[in-house]
Amino acid sequence: MALEHITTLTCVRCGRTHGLDVAYTCPACGTEGILDVGYDYERVARTLTRESLPSRRRDQWRYMELLPVDARQELPELQVGLTPVYEAPRLAEELGLARLVLKDDGRNPTCSFKDRASAVGVVKARELGREVIACASTGNAASSLAGFSAAYGLNSVIFVPHRTPEPKVAQLLIYGARVLRVAGSYDEAYWLCHAACERYGWYNRNCAINPYLVEGKKTVGLELAEQLGARMPQWVVLSVGDGCTLAGAWKGLREMHRLGLLPWLPRMLGVQAAGSSPMVRAYASGGEPVPVEARTLADSIAVGQPRNWRKAFQAIRESQGALLEVTDEEILEAMPRMARRTAVFGEPAAAAALAGLTRAVREGIVNRSEDAVVVVTGNGLKDVRSAIQTAAPPVDLPPDLAALESVLHKLRLPASN
Ligand SMILES: *Cc1c(COP(=O)(O)O)cnc(C)c1O
Residues 324, 206: contact at Cβ < 8 Å?
no
| 91 close to ligand 1 (CB < 6 Angstrom) | no
- Can you give the pLDDT at residue 404? 95
Q: Splitting the chain (417 residues) into consecutive groups of 10 residues, what average pLDDT does each group show? A: 86 93 90 92 96 96 96 93 98 97 98 97 94 90 95 95 83 94 87 94 87 95 98 98 96 98 98 96 94 91 90 97 98 96 97 98 97 97 88 91 94 80
Distance CA 242, CA 272 (A): 10
| 245 close to ligand 1 (CB < 6 Angstrom) | yes
Of 116, 124, 178, 117, the closest CA to residue 146 belongs to 178
| 304 close to ligand 1 (CB < 6 Angstrom) | no
- Can you give the pLDDT at residue 391? 86
Of 311, 357, 350, 271, the closest CA to residue 83 belongs to 350
Q: Please give the distance, rounded to the nearest whole angstrom, from the Cα atom of residue 300 to the centre of ligand 1.
A: 6
Atom of ligand 1 nearest to the CA of 244: 7
Q: Please give the distance, rounded to the nearest whole angstrom, from the Cα atom of residue 313 to the centre of ligand 1.
A: 16
Of 330, 345, 369, 378, the closest CA to residue 92 belongs to 369
| 242 close to ligand 1 (CB < 6 Angstrom) | yes
Can you say how many angstroms the Cα of residue 408 is from the centroid of all Cα atoms in its chain?
42
Atom of ligand 1 nearest to the CA of 114: 15
Distance CA 66, CA 406 (A): 61
Residues in the chain: 417
| 350 close to ligand 1 (CB < 6 Angstrom) | yes
In the chain, domain spans? 85-109+234-390
Please state which CATH number belongs to domain 85-109+234-390.
3.40.50.1100
CA triplet 373, 97, 239: central angle to 5 degrees?
35
Q: Please give the distance, rounded to the nearest whole angstrom, from the Cα atom of residue 264 to the centre of ligand 1.
A: 25
| 114 close to ligand 1 (CB < 6 Angstrom) | yes
| 161 close to ligand 1 (CB < 6 Angstrom) | no
Give the global pTM.
Answer: 0.95
| 140 close to ligand 1 (CB < 6 Angstrom) | yes
Report helix, strand or coil for 143. Answer: helix
Distance CA 159, CA 136 (A): 4
| 347 close to ligand 1 (CB < 6 Angstrom) | yes
Atom of ligand 1 nearest to the CA of 248: 7
Q: Please give the distance, rounded to the nearest whole angstrom, from the Cα atom of residue 276 to the centre of ligand 1.
A: 13
| 244 close to ligand 1 (CB < 6 Angstrom) | yes
Distance CA 100, CA 90 (A): 9
| 241 close to ligand 1 (CB < 6 Angstrom) | yes
Residue nearest to atom 2 of ligand 1 (CA): 300
- Can you give the pLDDT at residue 282? 97
- Can you give the pLDDT at residue 417? 58
Residue 330: which residues within 8 A CB-CB, separation 6 or more? 355, 358, 359
The best mutation among 118, 143, 354, 377 to test binding of ligand 1, ranked by most ligand atoms within 8 Å of the C-beta, falls on 377
Residue 76 DSSP one-character state: -
| 88 close to ligand 1 (CB < 6 Angstrom) | no
Of 304, 282, 308, the closest CA to residue 295 belongs to 304
